[in-house]
Amino acid sequence: MRKRRMIEQTLVLVKPDGVARGLIGEVIKRFEQRGLKIVALKLVKIDMDTAKKHYTEDISKRRGEKIRNVLLDFITEGPVVAMIIQGVNAIENVRKLTGDTESSSALPGTIRGDYSHVSFNYADSKNIPIRNIIHSSSNSEDAKTEIALWFSIDEIYDYKRSGDEHIF
């Protein structure tokens, strides 16, 4: 059975480590080369309240409160590039480009596989975050929630790209 093609939007964050390492352009390049469209983009320094809405208590249930606190400190330590990526099956395609959340498991050719390598065990033993460059929404429900948290409706733009006729 063929999968239905859907135009979707998903949230992507270049985390403070990616910004500090000068990887913003490389990350954007990978999405644009794939034919995905950036419909919102901004550089922000988020506060702890926003961070807690992004890294919800659900993370505490799955990985523990200690891990959530490490993630909260990490995402607020420096500026973040937030963007909304749009395209056919954007959530799935973006997740393929970003690679596995655990950097040590991410395949070469993915963003995390090319720019990070630390395992959960190592990070947990040192009480540090996995500096894995990027965040992308896990599914359509998370994408809707995260997009609404990071962007207002007037920050999202619709426009034509020269290659759109091949995709949309």
Distances (CA, A) of 148 to 102, 116, 120: 26, 28, 29
- Ranges of beta strands (E only) in 49-164 are 80-88, 134-136
User: In this structure, what DSSP letter does residue 162 have?
Assistant: T
81 DSSP β-pair partners: 14, 43
Angle at 143 between CA 141 and CA 145, to 5 degrees: 70
Q: Residue 67 CA to chain centroid, in angstroms? A: 18
Catalytic residue among 54, 117, 135, 166: 135
Query: Does the annotation count 135 as an active-site position?
Result: yes
- In whole angstroms, give the CA distance from residue 129 to residue 72: 9
Structure tokens given for 114: 């090319």
Angle at 108 between CA 28 and CA 117, to 5 degrees: 90
Say how many C-beta atoms besides its own lie within 10 A of residue 7's C-beta. Answer: 12
Which residues belong to the active site?
A: 135
